[in-house]
Chain A
Amino acid sequence: MSKFALITKGFLKENPTFVLVLGMCPTLATTTSAMNGLEMGLATMFVLILSNIVISLIAPMVPDKVHIPVYIVVIATFVTLLQLLMQAYVPEVYETLGLFIPLIVVNCIVLGRAEAFANKNSVGDSALDGIGIGLGFTVSLVVIGIVREILGSGSVFGWKFIPGDGILAFVMAPGAFIVLGYLMVLFNKLAKR
């Protein structure tokens, strides 16, 4: 697979949200607005890239029977690092996403990439895979966030262009499922062509 394809596959062929349907918890919970989706996507990408790099480095030394605990320790370490750094340097962002940051540990995208890619590929390729899948995840969250924010609050990235309250359901959980479902249909129809 070419280096370029490693990055682009995260958008289409292996889009984590619309094709692999991984990491649904943060996807549904944090996409109440485009900005929240963007921040969550970037946070996940940070963890994904670093854990992919480290896991591809240590994979040859880790005995098979304990590889899952080792990977989880590595991932949990990066998530905690991220949490501490966000709390210290971007407290406003931490306030909106704080609850969901620890959930990145159990986001199956991160462990999934470690298992499916990083532990059998080179460091460079694993880093690119992390960037690609991370970008795909981020873009998907932003798209869901934009749709929910327009319908639910009449704004995009906090810029309000429809006066009034919007359709409340789209800010809450049911709207997340509805938007995700329709986008998935749309995405798979377009991707099949």
Chain B
Amino acid sequence: MAAKSNLKNMALSLSAVCLVCSALLGGVYAMTSGPIAEAQAAKTAASIARVLPEFSAQPELKTVEVEGTEYSYYDVPGSGIAVISNASGFGGPLKLMVGIDEKGQIVNTVVLSHSETPGLGAKCTTDAAFIDQFKGWDPAARKLAVRKDGGEVDAITASTITSRAYSAAIASAYDVYLNLKGNE
């Protein structure tokens, strides 16, 4: 049956197994790293295309620091910027990509990742009435906050915290826009 459990056997068998496994993993990693990067790039490109008006220029990834927080955004000359912004939702961080055109209006928003409650807060990814209200929003004229907090955002029913986070994420994306514009 099993080999004897002396030190030599144990060390040998464990090292052999680890060696083979790491070789295998290394090989598969090398094989899949290309397609993984491609899949992620395709996803990012699709998100940018959704949040900004049609563009032909190549989006360029940049970072900027606004009030101590570092933001990543894609600069698309002739179209606008797509800012990646975070806020605390009900279940964890809510990550959005917010498209802002050159006139400072919100074009569209898309949720990149979230951990909201299925059936309640998670509706922020599917509820068209909620998402579409931000299209063409001018944060300089209309306050980005839910109605309960004195703003003009219609919250998702029974998901005030998620709606608040969504509005806050858009508002901080707009701060990034203002900051960039101020520095030009």
Which residue numbers of A lie inside 8 Å of B, CB to CB?
Answer: 32, 58-67, 69-70, 73-74, 76-77, 80-81, 84-85, 87-89, 91, 152-153, 165-166, 168, 171-172
Asked whether B10 is an interface residue with its Cβ less than 8 Å from the other chain, the reply is yes
B 172-184 binary contact with A (CB < 8 Å = 1; else 0): 0000000000000
Asked whether B39 is an interface residue with its Cβ less than 8 Å from the other chain, the reply is yes
How many A-B pairs fall under 8 Å by CB?
78
Which residue numbers of B lie inside 8 Å of A, CB to CB?
Answer: 1-6, 9-10, 13-14, 17-18, 21, 24-25, 28-29, 32, 34-36, 39-40, 43, 117-120
CB of B13 within 8 A of CB of A70, answer yes
Q: How far is the CA of A66 from the CA of B9 in the complex (A)?
A: 10
Q: List the B side residues contacting A64 at CB < 8 Å.
A: 2, 5
Contact of B28 among A63, A73, A84, A171 (CB under 8 A): A84
CB of A73 within 8 A of CB of B39, answer no
CB of A84 within 8 A of CB of B6, answer no
Q: List the B side residues contacting A61 at CB < 8 Å.
A: 2-3, 13
Q: List 24 A-B contacts (CB under 8 A).
A: A32-B118, A62-B17, A63-B3, A63-B10, A63-B13, A64-B2, A65-B5, A65-B10, A66-B14, A67-B2, A69-B14, A73-B14, A73-B18, A73-B21, A74-B21, A76-B21, A81-B24, A81-B28, A85-B32, A87-B39, A152-B119, A166-B119, A171-B118, A171-B119
CB of A77 within 8 A of CB of B13, answer no
CB of A63 within 8 A of CB of B32, answer no
CB of A58 within 8 A of CB of B17, answer yes
* Interface pairs A-B: 6 shortest CB-CB: A88-B35, A88-B32, A65-B5, A63-B5, A77-B21, A91-B39
